Copies of this chain bind each other. A is one copy, B any other.
Amino acid sequence: MEVRLIGGLRRIVVIGTGLIGTSVALALRERGVDVSLADRDPASVRLAAELGAGTPLRDGDGPADVAVLAVPPAAVAATLLDAQKRNLARFYTDVASVKARPLREAAELGCDLACYVAGHPLAGSERSGPAAARADLFLGRPWALCPTDGTDPAAVETVTALARECGAQTVVVDAEEHDQAVALVSHAPHVVSAAVAARLRRAPKVALGLAGQGVRDVTRIAAGDPELWIGILGSNALPVAEVIDEVAADLTAVAAALREGAGPGVSDLLERGGAGRRRLPGKHGGRPGAYTVVSVLIPDRPGELALLFQAAGVAGVNIEDVTIEHSPGRPVGVVELSVDPAAAERLAEELRARGWSVPG
């Protein structure tokens, strides 16, 4: 009798040893999973293997638990068909940034879709290739999974386990809904970033010399691999075009408002931008629902933060976010604690009672 270890990954195959594929391999190697590596470029496989991501796939290795197809969106369906013909694994998933079209193409090619769970880890880098890979790339990141009605529940469970072993948080979502969502939060922002960066191509040197952190942040993702992104954008063309048209319309309206002496058109966009930005969860953004920030002045020395958090614990207040502003040599830092608005005053009082300076 066969004992089937649901979610108990022993061996996976990674097809495509770029940034994402190699990072999946590294993450699972750390969890004790055997990894076989394949890529159309043998040098890339060798480098990934050298980095500790696994060993090159050999004929006769037998089927793995999961084959991870880490290839561009346009190559997913054909790669899936080929992998299934070679019986590389019991279950299959991919990591492409677009989901609806590859699923459609896989159906058209006659792939077995019951054992395939379309996936997309929302992690990446403006760098590419195995050398940029890191085992912690997916840590705490969303990882979209798009099973269909026909997907084997065991496939979903196993691929979910794989994503979680990589440290990611799985989000189950319909493929079309996924593509609309990433058009908004990933693909369109990429194009806009490129459009800002494109202006720098003919910028005078003095302008480049005056560039600060803002334009660096806005244009960081414009440094991404154009080939990869042409494939992504082409596979999700209409949802991306819609978002881009909206951005362009806003910009045209603001430019007109500026030429006419600024006014409400400009402030309206800035207000809407701030409101949109605040909806992003986590990291200095805050969950939808907005926390209250309690600022505390603290001496910049070890142990001080521990006392602060102890005090918060005593007050029964959960700290949702922390930022520390300090500078070398300055004796006092400012710690900003984001907390439930209902708890802010209680926390401030507790901290003041313990001798901290809590402006407000």
Residue in B closest to A236 when the chains form the complex, CB atoms: B258
Closest chain B CB from A276 CB (angstroms): 3
- A229 near B270 with CB under 8 A, answer yes
- B281 near A171 with CB under 8 A, answer no
- In the complex the two chains form, what is the Cα distance from A220 to B218 in whole Å? 8
- B169 near A226 with CB under 8 A, answer no
- A218 near B191 with CB under 8 A, answer no
- What are 7 A-B residue pairs whose CB atoms fall within 8 Å in the complex? A139-B295, A141-B212, A186-B211, A193-B218, A200-B277, A201-B279, A234-B261
Closest 6 CB pairs of A and B: A194-B273, A200-B276, A306-B309, A140-B334, A181-B207, A135-B327
Contact of A142 among B210, B266, B276 (CB under 8 A): B210
The residue among A136, A177, A261 with the most chain B CB atoms within 10 A of its own CB is: A136
Q: Inside 8 A of A194's CB, which chain B residues have their CB? A: 269-270, 272-274
Contact of A234 among B252, B262, B276 (CB under 8 A): B262
A200-B280, A282-B327 known; 18 new pairs, CB 8 Å cut-off, are A137-B327, A141-B212, A144-B210, A177-B206, A185-B211, A188-B199, A189-B214, A191-B269, A200-B277, A211-B281, A214-B221, A219-B277, A220-B277, A241-B254, A301-B318, A306-B312, A321-B323, A322-B322
- B259 near A241 with CB under 8 A, answer yes
- B334 near A270 with CB under 8 A, answer no
- In the complex the two chains form, what is the Cα distance from A238 to B272 in whole Å? 22
Contact of A322 among B233, B303, B305 (CB under 8 A): B305
- A208 near B270 with CB under 8 A, answer no
CB-CB contacts below 8 Å: A303-352 with B: 303, 305-306, 308-310, 312-313, 316-334, 336
Q: Inside 8 A of A245's CB, which chain B residues have their CB? A: 251-252, 255
If A184-B207, A276-B219, A279-B201 touch, does A325 touch B134 (CB 8 Å cutoff)? Answer: yes
- Say yes or no: is A217 at the interface (Cβ < 8 Å to chain B): yes
If A50-B357, A319-B324 touch, does A332 touch B140 (CB 8 Å cutoff)? Answer: yes
- A258 near B274 with CB under 8 A, answer no
- B252 near A248 with CB under 8 A, answer yes
Contact of A211 among B203, B220, B284 (CB under 8 A): B284
- In the complex the two chains form, what is the Cα distance from A85 to B214 in whole Å? 37
- Say yes or no: is A180 at the interface (Cβ < 8 Å to chain B): yes
Q: Inside 8 A of A30's CB, which chain B residues have their CB? A: 329-330, 359
- In the complex the two chains form, what is the Cα distance from A222 to B132 in whole Å? 29
- Say yes or no: is A6 at the interface (Cβ < 8 Å to chain B): no
